[in-house]
Structure 1
């Protein structure tokens, strides 16, 4: 290759790099802020802003060990999906909405551990008050957003403008709602009856946010709960069947699948209803990547194994999970390298798993449509 052709190739390569960088920079600046809602899958510390209760193991090491080096209230060894999304879009990590002396001009994280789609009264009316621990339902979190508006905007019009330029991540919600009847050991036939009410409640929450000015919303489904050590340990005697390749409880995964199908149907209805207003609602998939982690762990750089927690009680059960010695409690220890596990504590995911999911939501294939694809075509 001649000197001139080398220079020409170098110039072309440099031009491509500049163009790609410019495209990524434009994408990063597209959203003015991110507002996130949800439960322990995306709680960035709301549960612990007023102090750490003695019983709360998720606010103790080894939680937070991988990225932060200390516990932040996140139920993982490091970052969560919403953290990866914020960083990829060029925004700072969202502060917990209850944080003192925080600035919320780039958004806020309203998620809190234990959150449900339905308000607590719903479960109390069904005699399930003792099996629900909800410190802030979806609708309570939306109230928190409404109460925060004077801190981030000078007028309702200014807030509406900010919200129109922001990304709203609504969930996931539903996991704790189903836990209420499940942990009361109600028959699965009864648990399935909760699906329409839970999905309708999520739909109502989306409508409230659209009324506030949101036009770009990400709505995640639920995880395949039958693959998680906490359920595999608690329901091992009740389980009717396990996946031959996955080792997951089939009936519990069916419940998750039914919820996700109903949620996607609700999203389709809302898209049609609000199409004229330019509202974009993206369904985000937790289920498919989690199943892939179990079935094809080596593809994602994770250990090829049946569902097993990284942080748990070694020697206690095949899932490394024990209700009396959970991660962060005496007797429990973390594996040496959380990046080769997908399950962190038997209930939540590792930073590595959340990173894979976040990329799938941003660029595909784990979102419909993908967040960045949607924005690049506006």
Structure 2
């Protein structure tokens, strides 16, 4: 089967871009001296040991710019203004007007800004890394791209034509305009599977974490890697996209059965991190999706509210089970739902003037996801004058001010909001105190 020329061209251009990006500075990542984070480009040869690195998994609430590197549709991009303009003054790929929760947690933990996994040249991982991807779900099927099969020889010939390092390509799962599973092609029939990508699912993020683990073991040895991974804090936010846009294959499932599948997939990833040495976990339950400007505009708030309640209850039960099953498993279960709901019900108490409308968007409540004018052909949008007055920046995502308040509560919050530990406590716990 001959590979279509247009597909080969797309593949080659994409691979050229990814190799180009690995050799140049990433245009979407800024050296954030304004918040006291140090640029760590001088760490090219020496691993700097930290007490607790931070590894981040999740969706658009945590994505620092990983989606900049994939040719997804504009609904899963935020690398255009006015995103980022309040703090960074450029669009970094964060779905807000400035910093997001992992940025603030890193600041409180005295860590540098945790970069996206695909940041050019960042291969140290001593501070941790962020795998989150806008649009991601716990289920692989959530926002999954199309799959095609091609002959490996056809692909290889075109890589040779471009003078790309085939051995390097074939050893790596590359994300670009398409995703290439070189590691699972069938040698006997020379078949390669190529899948177009919309978002990097949680299980795919886990694959990249395993690659980080392998790189660390190769560079610093098993003992040092084990200590680094056991000291690290692992932060997760997932489930919104699974609930709000379920894949059609699940249409005949009851809501509870579907939620159980989501939670089971998430649990599998947690156990994989635990198996690698992780012991300190942070999870946000889901915010009240029925209160977002998008849900208000679409008038589907009641259904979303029921699903979110079911999901949060199931997730809480599962974490309690894991605590009993996994020796040394420590966790912070942040009540994101209550924190957001409290601010929506009592905005003035927290310094907000507007909690029903988004700062950026169009239509009623500015509930059309049109911020920036680059999504689904919607060029028109409105932008508020003072984002700090708004809880929501666009119709899905909070503003930098809201994120900062949430992060502060995660860091120093009481047991009623964070469960077993707040993040400050988790970061202070050393591996020698943990059961490994």
Question: What's the TM-score bracket when you normalise by the shorter of the two chains?
Answer: 0.7 to 0.9
Deviates more, 1:143-152 or 1:88-97: 143-152
Any idea what the Cα deviations from partners look like across 1:65-113, whole Å, max 9, x if unmatched? 1111110000000111111000000001111001121142211000011
For 1:210 and 1:164, locate their aligned partners in 2 and report how far apart those are by CA, in whole Å. 9
Corresponding residue number in structure 1 for 2:125: 104
The answer to whether structure 1 residue 206 and structure 2 residue 252 are counterparts is no
Question: Does the 8 Å contact 2:293/2:356 carry over to 1?
Answer: yes
- Count of residue pairs brought into register by the alignment: 322
For 1:175 and 1:121, locate their aligned partners in 2 and report how far apart those are by CA, in whole Å. 10
Cα offset, 1:150, TM superposition: 4.0
Corresponding residue number in structure 1 for 2:284: 220
Cα offset, 1:289, TM superposition: 1.3
For 1:332 and 1:122, locate their aligned partners in 2 and report how far apart those are by CA, in whole Å. 25
Q: Scaled by the length of structure 2, what TM-score is found?
A: 0.68
The answer to whether structure 1 residue 267 and structure 2 residue 313 are counterparts is no
Corresponding residue number in structure 2 for 1:116: 137
For 2:344 and 2:93, locate their aligned partners in 1 and report how far apart those are by CA, in whole Å. 26
The answer to whether structure 1 residue 143 and structure 2 residue 164 are counterparts is no
1:327–1:32 distance in 2 versus 1, CA, 3 Å: same
Corresponding residue number in structure 2 for 1:13: none
Cα offset, 1:184, TM superposition: 11
The answer to whether structure 1 residue 326 and structure 2 residue 371 are counterparts is yes
SS in 2 for 1:372: helix
The answer to whether structure 1 residue 293 and structure 2 residue 293 are counterparts is no
Corresponding residue number in structure 1 for 2:161: none
For 2:142 and 2:312, locate their aligned partners in 1 and report how far apart those are by CA, in whole Å. 24
Question: Does the 8 Å contact 2:292/2:395 carry over to 1?
Answer: yes
Question: Does the 8 Å contact 1:181/1:191 carry over to 2?
Answer: no
The answer to whether structure 1 residue 177 and structure 2 residue 242 are counterparts is yes
For 2:279 and 2:83, locate their aligned partners in 1 and report how far apart those are by CA, in whole Å. 34
Q: Scaled by the length of structure 1, what TM-score is found?
A: 0.78
Cα offset, 1:194, TM superposition: 1.3
**Structure 2: runs of 5+ lacking an equivalent:** 1-48, 146-195
Corresponding residue number in structure 2 for 1:311: 360
Question: Does the 8 Å contact 1:218/1:283 carry over to 2?
Answer: yes
Which residues in structure 2 correspond to 1:340-351 (within 5 Å)? 340-351=389-400
SS in 2 for 1:58: coil
Any idea what the Cα deviations from partners look like across 1:322-373, whole Å, max 9, x if unmatched? 25x3344432132111111111100111111111111111111431121224
For 1:354 and 1:260, locate their aligned partners in 2 and report how far apart those are by CA, in whole Å. 20
SS in 2 for 1:108: strand
Any idea what the Cα deviations from partners look like across 1:146-182, whole Å, max 9, x if unmatched? 1123443433333221111111112x11111112239
1:207–1:182 distance in 2 versus 1, CA, 3 Å: closer
Question: Does the 8 Å contact 2:68/2:77 carry over to 1?
Answer: no
Question: Does the 8 Å contact 2:391/2:401 carry over to 1?
Answer: yes
Cα offset, 1:140, TM superposition: 1.1
Cα offset, 1:258, TM superposition: 1.5
In structure 2, which of residues 306, 315, 330 is the aligned counterpart of residue 254 of structure 1?
306
Cα offset, 1:263, TM superposition: 0.4
